[in-house]
Amino acid sequence: MLLSQLGFYSLILGLLLSFILLIFSYKNLFTKDINLKKNIYYISFLQFFLVIQSFFCLIYSFIVSDFSNETVYNNSHTTKPFFYKISGTWGNHEGSLLLWLLVLTLFIFLFLIFSKEQPKKYRLLTLLFQQIIIIGFFLFVLFASNPFNYLFPIPKEGLGLNPILQDPALAIHPPILYLGYVGSSIIFSSSLSALICKNVNSNWARHIKLWIFLSWTFLTLGIMIGSIWAYYELGWGGFWFWDPVENISLMPWLCLTALLHTIVVLEKRQVLKLWTLILSIATFTFSMTGTFLVRSGILNSVHTFANDPTRGLFILIFLFVLILLSLLILFLYQPKTSNLQKKFFFLSKETSILVNNWFMIYFLSVIFIGTTYPIFLEVLTNAKISVGPPFYQKLLLPFLIFFLIFMSFGPNLKWIKSSFKKIKFKQIFPFIISIIISYLIIIKTNSEHLFSTILFVSAFYLFFTASRDLIKKENHLSQKISHFGFSLLVLAILLNSVFADEFSANMKIGEEIKFKNSFIKFKKIETYEEKNYKSIVADFEIEDKKKIINLKPEIRIYNQPNILTSEADIKVSFFSDKFLVMNLLKDDDFFNVRYQIKPFMLWIWISGLLLAIGGFLGLIRKFK
């Protein structure tokens, strides 16, 4: 109880420090000193210290199972393993918001430390805008999502954490994802500051690129870890389901990817200033929109935290104020571009980046409409619909072909102007190889669609050109690794989609069923008592081309909350995963068994890791 009070009052003091920082920063704007006052650094660090103190108070409350704390009572249990008691701190609405606030205060302090070479006015205005965001989150946490609410009488036992959240991957997924989300707030505040200071130039682009790389890298890692968790934990046998909350993380990633390319043009040629600023604002807007949708109860998803419209209304009003403020500043201080700077040749790197941005914004628009359309339709007509994979595939895949082809030669173009003669013949050979391989795949899969052939040709073509660029002895290693990772990701997803196979049947112990050239035998089940759940483990033997594989899927019956989950068993190999999951049926003699062959799954995870490594190398290069 005492620690909960300490955590609560730490947040109140942190909020007061935000107002003090606003006052000190505003006064410092009008002094003649070229440097920031030292007390600004001290107060910023103290604010971060108070929030981290509050966060550790909440962690300790979870560790000792202090059920006088309402957040602990709703999301923990005495039998829950120690590791998940800690991760349960941010596995709920209130704790996740406190973590978000912690990263916000950390990032603005780091910004002040690593921006000492930038103009004083620019740094102070960034601090002012960032503190406005921080104040909004302080108020939201204290008055709408307090993680330290007191319960009396004190319950003897908690309600427990959702079992599907009790997983190592999901324990680290939110913190990494938040680092990506919150990094966009610094980009947002910095952009508005640079706009007012008329400082949107190459120097600013080099400075802010650090934060763009940081945000993009962590967001990429967070999405990848979430996909891995969904693959083996949810038992659906896939890695991406176009779930609304998945889409919400993808939208700022697309914005950040476009911004990452645009900032390079601004750094090199002093063009696309307005577009860079719009993308900076849009990235943060989509991050905040995701926060609103996930925490308002509007979306129906396994990922959502809360079901409280008043909380969503608070964030919606706050987001509206921030967007209105940013658009007003953008309108009043929009940068002017000279006629010389507007010249773009068709064959140039800057044109390729601009076209890349157009594709990204189109993909973003489709995902945004697919995610929000059911919400607006329900509000207007009270009709409930769901938008699934067919919608996204029909609207995204045709444009993906052109995007992949354009991406195959765009990175090799020169700044300002390229010669068509130099790129005319050197990529014909990989294109021919791509056609041959794609034709063989289409024949193998008995597909008669011309569209599938073209899609495979473009994917293989991008993969071959990205592979060739990767082995060249040139600079920009981070860019080449990321592009290669993306080409591998697209190719692995396509191959996975056409070569995947599935078997589903109701089976009882001792039964054997033939599936194509394989035999699936249900040998036995065993029961185990774990600390906070009962485990039913099945033993299956799969004979495939005289090779025998044993898979042991599991059904867990948790004691608190009383929930049943299915844990898949996956045999991972370099070229293909063998995935098996089972579910209980009302008839105790039978189990529903689903066996899937998932080709190239490991390649998907490797490609995601390569994307993040590319971003990380770009981040390191910015520190040199």
Give me the residue label for tokens 């190999």. 573
Residues in the chain, how many?
624
Q: Is the pLDDT of residue 340 over 50?
A: no
In a shared domain, residues 360 and 255: yes
Q: Is the pLDDT of residue 161 over 70?
A: yes
In a shared domain, residues 317 and 189: yes
Domain annotation covers residue 436: no
Domain annotation covers residue 441: no
List, for residues 104-126, the tens digit of each pLDDT value.
999 999 999 999 889 999 999 99
Which of the given ranges, 205-219, 315-329, 511-525, has the highest pLDDT on average? Answer: 205-219
Q: Which domain holds residue 580?
A: 501-602
Q: What is the mean pLDDT of the chain?
A: 87
Q: Quick check: 232 and 342 in contact, CB under 8 A? A: no
Q: Which residues are CB-neighbours of 415 under 8 A, at least 6 positions away?
A: 268, 269, 348, 349, 350
Q: Is the pLDDT of residue 459 over 90?
A: yes
In a shared domain, residues 149 and 238: no
Domain annotation covers residue 432: no
> What's the gap between Cα 38 and its chain centre?
36
Domain annotation covers residue 188: yes
Note the pLDDT of residue 419.
59
Note the pLDDT of residue 367.
94
List, for residues 22-55, the tens digit of each pLDDT value.
999 999 888 888 888 889 999 999 999 999 999 9
In a shared domain, residues 228 and 253: yes
List, for residues 470-502, the tens digit of each pLDDT value.
887 666 788 899 999 999 999 999 999 888 888
In a shared domain, residues 44 and 121: yes
Which has the minimum average pLDDT: 84-88, 325-329, 380-384, 457-461?
380-384
CA–CA gap between residue 36 and residue 500 (Å, rounded): 59
In a shared domain, residues 72 and 198: no
In a shared domain, residues 154 and 176: no
- The dihedrals phi and psi of 13, each to the nearest 5 degrees, come to -65, -40
Name the domain boundary from 123, 141, 161: 161
In a shared domain, residues 171 and 157: no
* Token couple for 318: 């706050």
Q: Is the pLDDT of residue 451 over 80?
A: no
Read off the pLDDT of each residue in 545-564 and give the average, rounded to a whole number: 85
Largest CA distance in the chain: 85
In a shared domain, residues 386 and 299: yes
- The runs of H, that is alpha helices, within 557-599 are none
List, for residues 56-93, the tens digit of each pLDDT value.
999 999 999 999 999 999 888 888 888 888 988 988 88
* Nearest CA-CA partner of 181 in 109, 239, 243, 96: 96
* Token couple for 355: 């076209």
Domain annotation covers residue 374: yes
Q: Is the pLDDT of residue 463 over 70?
A: yes
Domain annotation covers residue 527: yes
Domain annotation covers residue 496: no
Which has the minimum average pLDDT: 395-399, 482-486, 532-536, 542-546?
542-546
DSSP-based helix, strand, coil % in the chain, nearest 5: 65, 10, 25
Give percent above pLDDT 90 in the chain.
46
Domain annotation covers residue 136: yes
Strands (E), 200-263: none
Q: Quick check: 225 and 176 in contact, CB under 8 A? A: yes
In a shared domain, residues 175 and 157: no
Taken in order 17, 20, 22, 26, the sign of the CA dihedral is negative
In a shared domain, residues 276 and 365: yes
In a shared domain, residues 312 and 389: yes
- In the chain, how many domains are there? 3
List, for residues 256-271, the tens digit of each pLDDT value.
999 999 999 898 888 8
List, for residues 385-417, the tens digit of each pLDDT value.
888 888 998 999 999 999 998 888 888 777 766
Note the pLDDT of residue 472.
78
Q: Is the pLDDT of residue 339 over 80?
A: no
List, as one string, the DSSP characters of 20-76.
HHHHHHHHHTTSS-SS--HHHHHHHHHHHHHHHHHHHHHHHHHHTT-TTBHHHHHH-
Q: Is the pLDDT of residue 282 over 80?
A: yes
